[in-house]
Structure 1
Amino acid sequence: MRKFILVLSLLLTFANADTIGIKEKLGVMVPLDLTFIDEESKSKTLKELMDGKPTILTLNYFRCAGICTPQLNDLAKMLSRLDLAENTDYKVLTVSFAEDEPADLAAAKRKNLLASMTREYVADAWHFVIGENNSSGVLADTVGFSFQKTVADNGKVDYIHTAALIVLSPEGKVTRYLNGIEQLPFNAKISLIDAAEGKIGSTIAKALPYCFAYDAKGKTYIFAWEKFAAIIMLTLVFGFFYFLVKSGRKEDDHQKKGENNE
């Protein structure tokens, strides 16, 4: 019994540990009264930004040297091919979770991405915003998107995070997660159609890439050793648990054989 209590306590420790990634919260309602600063430095509520449309939400930071740029570039490419009318059938909202990014940086990012698209795209359909009064942090927590702030020796701030598109219904309900950097227009279309009806869909693509902090001096990405260590420890715990179960069964069989021989 003591063996099983020990294993259970270890499992609970790791289960309650903070992790970087996404803890899906399908069906949760996001607070539509959260306010953000848009590309024109105007304060707008999430409700105003969504404008009663199903919305593709991305959480990034605009100075990101990792997966944010590939993700947003792919999103622009995918939206160019999406067989739905932007600003009528859906909205797109890219929220910065960084604490110090200015509105002009959001505007520049938006301008570059819209210019990269292969067709005329209604600019008002895709907004780039920064948080106000920790609104981006509240939003990220509500949809289950966690990240970790890192500060280099030179004071440079980065964030370890993952990439996903999170689809919201017009009422602000989380209806689907599309994990990863590259997304198919068909998957996005079905997700938005379902979201328009408030239908919750299954997650698409479970594999999650992670953005690590960039070490400019070493010209490399800093490995998220905490995440790797947690995975290794969980593997060892489950392996130890399996060993205890197997050894316990062998001990019971041995005792039963001894009793039968008596």
Structure 2
Amino acid sequence: MLLLIAVAFTFGLSREQPAHAQALAVPAPAQTRYVQRLNATLPLSSTFTDDKGRPTRLGAYFGKRPVVLVLGYFHCPNLCSTLMDGVLESLAAVDLPPQSYRVLGVSIDPSETPEQAARKKASYAPVLTDKGVQMTLLTGAKPQVETLAHSVGFEYVYDRELQQYMHPAGFLIATPDGRISHYFMGVRFDPRDVRLALIDASSQRIGSPVDQLLLLCSHYDPVTGRYSAQVMTVVRALSVTVLAALVIWLWRAARGRRGAA
């Protein structure tokens, strides 16, 4: 029976599944993960440029309410838009006044401009206008971006061959005074969990670490909702390992029974 389950598991994972079905609780590759730093303080004095071209301090968005912080980049051809869609969809269903929190998106690509940020924000206008969500998209110089990314444990690298950034999928919620309260991994989120995290953050409470997920931006195709063969190779390798372990266990158990007989 266990062998049949293992075979089904192996062949089931060998078929490419939609992104939200591939939230695999396995260690993310080095340099493309969230190192969860709960209760760490964000660099509120860092200067960025908002989507209207105005210089602004990160701390200007804190003080009175929790902040939903999403790192990515605006011209990303893969996962970033799917991630922000998931964040906004979950916020639209949290049943909290939109004035009780703020959404802040920060580009990890220092070459991106406020104009690109403005165009990206305009693409979310239907959701933002309908639900009244307040969102600002920021761009910044490399030192400021790297400082912010390091402070939240957001590890990323630039793949020169693909000409894309490799980074983890997820977002975090910070308290009004700029401390990391909760992490969310993946691209789709339970509105109830997000609601409770926002309430916790507004009360200055700090949550617990969550499981890492293997969701790499540069290997996701938003058109098909599928991952590349590179990621699926890892999944298949894990499945074969599980299958081999079960076969060895069954062989040893059968041998032991024969010896006892």
Instruction: Decide: shared fold, TM above 0.5.
Output: yes
Query: Is residue 187 of structure 1 aligned with residue 198 of structure 2?
Result: no
Q: Which amino acid aligns with 2:132?
A: Y
User: Is the partner of 2:189 in helix, strand or coil?
Assistant: coil
Larger Rg: 1
The structure, 1 or 2, with the larger RCO (C-alpha pairs under 8 Å, 6+ apart) is 2
Structure 2 distance, partners of 1:187, 1:214, is 25
Q: Report what 2:47 is aligned to.
A: 35
Q: Which amino acid aligns with 2:140?
A: G
Match of 1:199 among 196, 205, 211: 205
Q: Could you tell me how far 1:102 is from its partner in structure 2?
A: 0.9
Q: For residues 106-140 of structure 1, what are the alpha-carbon distances to aligned partners after superposition, in whole Å with 9 as ceiling and x for unaligned? A: 11111111224582424xx2111111352121111
Task: Describe the shift of the 1:222–1:43 C-alpha distance in structure 2 as closer, same or farther (beyond 3 A).
Answer: farther
Query: Is residue 140 of structure 1 aligned with residue 152 of structure 2?
Result: no
Structure 2 distance, partners of 1:224, 1:205, is 18
Where do residues 1-262 of structure 1 align in structure 2 (5 Å cutoff)? 18-86=30-98, 88-116=99-127, 119-122=130-133, 125-132=134-141, 134-152=143-161, 157-204=163-210, 206-212=212-218, 223=230
After TM superposition, where is structure 1 displaced by more than 3 Å over at least 4 residues in a row? 203-206, 220-225
Structure 2 distance, partners of 1:118, 1:91, is 14
Q: Could you tell me how far 1:63 is from its partner in structure 2?
A: 0.9
CA contact (8 A) 1:80 1:118 kept: no
Q: Could you tell me how far 1:208 is from its partner in structure 2?
A: 3.6
Q: Could you tell me how far 1:157 is from its partner in structure 2?
A: 3.0
CA contact (8 A) 1:94 1:128 kept: yes
Q: For residues 49-96 of structure 1, what are the alpha-carbon distances to aligned partners after superposition, in whole Å with 9 as ceiling and x for unaligned? A: 23532101010101111110111112222222221122x311110100
User: Is the partner of 1:134 in helix, strand or coil?
Assistant: helix
Please tell me the root mean square deviation across aligned C-alpha atoms, in Å.
3.0
CA contact (8 A) 2:34 2:212 kept: no
Structure 2 distance, partners of 1:63, 1:113, is 14
Q: For residues 168-226 of structure 1, what are the alpha-carbon distances to aligned partners after superposition, in whole Å with 9 as ceiling and x for unaligned? A: 001111111011100121111111111111111124454241112689xxxx958479x
When you count strand as a share of all residues, which structure comes out higher? 1
Structure 2 segments unaligned to the other structure (5+ residues)? 1-28, 222-226, 242-261
Structure 1 distance, partners of 2:150, 2:110, is 15
Q: Which amino acid aligns with 1:187?
A: D
Task: Describe the shift of the 1:113–1:205 C-alpha distance in structure 2 as closer, same or farther (beyond 3 A).
Answer: farther
Equivalenced residues, count = 207
